[in-house]
Structure 1
Amino acid sequence: MSSTFSQIYIQTVFAVKGRQSLISEVWEDELYKYITGIVRNKEQKMLAINGMPDHIHFLIGMRPSCCLSDLIREIKKSSNKYVNDNFMKSNFQWQDGYGAFSYSHSALDNVVGYIMNQKEHHKRQTFKEEYVEFLRKFQIDYKDEYLFEWIE
């Protein structure tokens, strides 16, 4: 009997539409739990989730049968509705697009630490600086006009 063995770890980053600081500390943990539930219901494993009022990061362990773009689309769609129904009353929306960055098993502790330390990290670096640094570090070609909308 043959089996499939894999080790796929992806950090995903995406922002609130218009980069508005709408994620409140009052309910951010509820949002993270909700997103974690979506990931689990899709049979993937949430390893870390955290963020700032204008964006989130999460690290998942993925099965090879998962289509990342479908998962992200479901997370954004469902969490938009969840936030609007429970906290914002129809003002919340995620921005188009996302960043996805793969890691080896040996890097997981560092990535989890980085994600869980977002609030401290962003005292020293803006989201734009962080995101462009990811793109450069992972050698991803990009054009500035296709990046998220930035609030300067």
Structure 2
Amino acid sequence: MRENAEKKAIYIDFVNGYTDHCHCLISLNSDQTMSSVMQLIKGESSHWINQSGLCDYKFEWQNEYYAVSVSDSQVDKVREYIRNQEKHHNEKTFNEEVDEFAAIYGFAKLYDISD
């Protein structure tokens, strides 16, 4: 994922995931949009997964994604959160974390991630 992103001038600072999702800390350039970056990352990684035969079925990411901005002062905390996905998800599901995050920071949850 990181190698293909670099070829497209996308800087992935940190990446990790769990069984059904992936977290990326991405630094956007002034000419990049979250939508275009996500399209490239998802497309390139899906292609690689399918070409590598990692699944017995055609792998596809869901259309949706969840993105928030992060201040420089919080980057280390976000890296640590991403690094510890397995620990987090032994305690609560991704949807539970999204609900909690939305409640704490006042974000509207537009859809259920598992849909």
Normalized against structure 1, the TM-score is what?
0.68
Q: Is the radius of gyration larger for structure 1 or structure 2? A: 1
Residues 79 and 110 of structure 1: CA distance in aligned 2, closer, same or farther (over 3 Å)? same
Provide structure 2 residue ranges, at least 5 long, that are not aligned to the other structure: none
Contact 1:52 1:118 in 2 (8 A): yes
For CA contacts below 8 A with separation 6 or more, give which structure has more relative contact order.
Answer: 1
Deviation, 1:42, is: 2.5
2:114 counterpart of 1:149:
yes
Residue by residue, what CA displacement relative to the aligned partner does 1:96-152 show, whole Å, maximum 9, x if unpaired? 110001111110110000000101111111111012223333422234xx32235xx
Contact 1:84 1:91 in 2 (8 A): yes
Counterpart among 88, 107, 115 of residue 55 in structure 2:
88
Relative to its length, the structure with more strand (as a share) is 1
Count residues with an aligned counterpart. Answer: 114
- Maintained 8 Å contact 1:101/1:138: no
Kindly indicate whether residue 96 of structure 2 is the aligned counterpart of residue 139 of structure 1: no
TM-score by length of 2: 0.87
2:17 paired with 1:51: yes
Q: Distance in 1 between matches of 2:114 and 2:45?
A: 20
Percent identity over paired residues: 32
